[in-house]
């Protein structure tokens, strides 16, 4: 008989309630009535207390999710579509450059006499890009996002981020920088970007920044396509490995300095928080940051670490802030991959032990197979494409990933004290970046690296199932 951990049940119930708001929104009165009914059932001993609390948490999450979605769907700028005014906006993310324009997410502080305080997408002509965190003075025209076109619905994609309008401006003027936590994150990000790229230029520098900061805007479109086709695009999204290295680096530094462990754990908390601020609110970053922070808190509180509980709490934080995140491809891919690592990697490792596979390669293959199988349906639904060679591609790339991250963070730590040593380490790290780019080009450039046909996908899945059935019988 399977025994469920009450903590898992309660966290999962809250997540399910928040996710239910994406399908149906309910008023707060319904939720309160349901909570009262659950309390009465517990008092009458009709249900167990943990069941009553789980029902109450699900209803509270449902009400909260409904209220958050109602708030996210509000817009003061949407009725102003077609009008132009002088606006003051804050750049909240790295700009994305294309052949025709520069697109950047902003927070609109002022639009004419309005003080909307809502996010928007700003379109600028090709040229100099504004830095993240800058306050821009622009003459902006409000437009509505485009609807479904060529398989992509820009309006729905932006709406899930609380964005309802696109601003177009022909020029901009920087008039300051934002402060607060956002400003602190901008400064940390700028310092990291300067330090990890010491001694590097061009593609190698852009790739190191992409892997460490989760920003692939500096890479060419061709190379990004090769990373997608090869199944290596996840390397350009900040993951738990990055956060673990940041926290581990803080603990090692505390150990070298002879600082007590509890001070090191507090330092690790601060380092993880600063790194998450610098990278930005991506689903994989928040999930990894929550897990890392809870790991340090568990040590400080002398409590057992529970990776499933950490995973569920990460989902809870993301969904409580924006229930639309459930529909985001990054959220789905990140959580499916981590759940696959927890559930599928151990049996796959045991299965691979019966074959002549080197021990160092068993773990890489097990993780690649598990994550590839779990994320394939998401990739097909979201992008209508599935990489076929992700397992060998990840096996090729694995030897360079940990050295690249380690050297990048070592460069960042040395840069303030010894720029020359940091530049030398950065140049060495450039070879790791070049190797990863070569792996993506080699595997992603093969004609059969990616499948985009439904028929081909069905045939491939049937073949995989046959091979798996034969292997299991053997």
Q: Higher pLDDT residue, 2 or 242?
A: 242
**CA quadruple 274, 279, 283, 287: dihedral, nearest 10:** -30
Neighbours of 52 (CB within 10 A): 19
Local confidence band at 89 (pLDDT 50, 70, 90 cut-offs): very high
Question: What DSSP string runs through 111-172?
Answer: ETTB---EEEEEEEESSPPPPTTEEEEEEEEEEPPP-EETTEEHHHHHHTTT---EEE-S-E
Q: Which CATH class is domain 78-178?
A: mainly beta
Nearest to 72 by CA among 165, 164, 166, 153: 164
Q: For tokens 């568990």, what's the residue?
A: 298
Q: Higher pLDDT residue, 273 or 423?
A: 423
Asked if residues 438 and 397 have their Cβ atoms less than 8 Å apart, the reply is no
Asked if residues 65 and 18 have their Cβ atoms less than 8 Å apart, the reply is yes
Question: Domain locations in the chain?
Answer: 6-72, 78-178, 189-238+317-473
pLDDT of residue 1: 37
- Residue 117 — φ and ψ, nearest 5°? 60, 40
Separation CA 424–CA 429 (nearest Å): 9
Pairing type for strands 118-125 and 166-168 reads parallel
pLDDT of residue 360: 74
pLDDT 10s digits, 142-152: 999 988 877 77
As a whole number, mean pLDDT of residues 184-190 equals 83
pLDDT 10s digits, 355-380: 777 777 787 788 888 888 888 888 88
pLDDT of residue 2: 43
Q: Enter the pTM of the model.
A: 0.82
pLDDT 10s digits, 56-81: 888 888 999 999 999 999 999 999 98
Residue 45 has pLDDT above 70, yes or no: no
Grouping H, G, I as helix, E, B as strand and the rest as coil, residue 174 is strand
pLDDT of residue 330: 82
pLDDT of residue 381: 83
As a whole number, mean pLDDT of residues 333-346 equals 85
pLDDT of residue 36: 79
pLDDT of residue 467: 62
Separation CA 90–CA 106 (nearest Å): 5
pLDDT of residue 3: 55
Q: For tokens 């891919």, what's the residue?
A: 333
- For the chain, what is the mean pLDDT? 82
Local confidence band at 294 (pLDDT 50, 70, 90 cut-offs): low
pLDDT 10s digits, 413-426: 888 888 888 888 88
Q: Higher pLDDT residue, 377 or 469?
A: 377
pLDDT 10s digits, 217-245: 778 888 888 888 888 888 887 777 777 77
Asked if residues 102 and 127 have their Cβ atoms less than 8 Å apart, the reply is yes
pLDDT 10s digits, 121-137: 999 998 888 988 899 99
Residue 302 has pLDDT above 70, yes or no: no
Q: Higher pLDDT residue, 205 or 293?
A: 205
Local confidence band at 383 (pLDDT 50, 70, 90 cut-offs): confident
Local confidence band at 120 (pLDDT 50, 70, 90 cut-offs): very high
* Beta bridge partner(s), residue 84: 141
Residue 188 has pLDDT above 70, yes or no: yes
Residue 287 has pLDDT above 80, yes or no: no
pLDDT of residue 211: 84
Separation CA 71–CA 86 (nearest Å): 25
Distances (CA, A) of 413 to 136, 213, 249: 32, 15, 10
DSSP state of 216: -
DSSP state of 46: S
């Amino acid at each position: 008989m399977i025994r469920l951990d009450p903590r898992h049940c309660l966290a999962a119930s809250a997540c399910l309630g928040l996710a239910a708001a994406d399908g149906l929104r309910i008023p707060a009165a319904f939720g309160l009535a349901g909570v009262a009914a659950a309390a009465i059932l517990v008092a009458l001993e009709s249900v167990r207390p943990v069941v009553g609390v789980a029902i109450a948490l699900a209803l509270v999450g449902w009400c909260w999710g409904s209220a958050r979605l109602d708030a996210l769907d509000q817009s003061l700028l949407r009725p102003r579509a077609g009008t132009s005014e002088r606006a003051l906006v804050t750049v909240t993310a790295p700009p994305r450059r294309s052949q025709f324009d520069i697109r950047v997410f902003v927070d609109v502080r002022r639009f004419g006499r309005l003080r909307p305080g809502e996010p928007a997408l700003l379109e600028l002509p090709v040229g100099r890009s504004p830095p993240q965190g800058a306050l821009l003075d622009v003459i902006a025209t409000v437009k509505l996002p485009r609807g479904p076109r060529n398989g992509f619905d820009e309006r729905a994609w932006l709406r899930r981020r609380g964005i309802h309008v696109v601003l177009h401006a022909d020029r901009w003027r920087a008039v300051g920088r934002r402060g607060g936590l956002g400003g602190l994150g901008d400064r940390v990000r700028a310092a990291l970007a300067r330090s990890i790229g010491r001694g590097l230029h061009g593609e190698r520098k852009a790739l190191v920044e992409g892997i460490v900061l989760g920003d692939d805007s500096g890479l060419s479109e061709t190379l990004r396509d090769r990373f997608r086709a090869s199944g290596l695009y996840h390397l350009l999204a900040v993951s738990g490995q990055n956060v673990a290295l940041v926290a581990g680096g803080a603990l090692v530094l505390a150990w070298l300095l002879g600082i007590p462990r509890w001070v090191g754990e507090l330092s690790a908390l601060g380092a993880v928080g600063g790194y998450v601020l610098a990278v930005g609110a991506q689903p994989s970053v928040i999930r990894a940051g929550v897990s890392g922070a809870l790991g340090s808190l568990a040590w400080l509180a002398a409590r057992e670490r529970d990776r499933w509980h950490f995973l569920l709490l990460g989902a809870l934080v993301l969904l409580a802030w924006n229930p639309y995140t459930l529909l985001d491809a990054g959220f789905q891919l990140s959580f499916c991959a981590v759940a696959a690592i927890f559930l599928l990697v151990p049996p796959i490792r045991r299965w691979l032990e019966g074959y002549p596979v080197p021990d160092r390669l068993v773990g890489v293959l097990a993780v690649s197979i598990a994550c590839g199988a779990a994320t394939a349906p998401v990739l097909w639904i979201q992008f209508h494409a599935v990489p076929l060679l992700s397992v060998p591609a990840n096996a090729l790339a694995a030897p360079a990933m940990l050295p690249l991250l380690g050297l990048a963070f070592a460069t960042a730590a040395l840069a303030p004290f010894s720029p020359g040593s940091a530049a030398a380490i950065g140049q060495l790290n450039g070879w790791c970046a070049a190797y990863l780019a070569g792996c993506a080009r080699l595997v992603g450039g093969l004609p059969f690296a990616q499948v985009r046909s439904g028929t081909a996908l069905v045939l491939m899945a049937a073949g995989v199932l046959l091979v798996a059935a034969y292997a299991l019988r053997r």
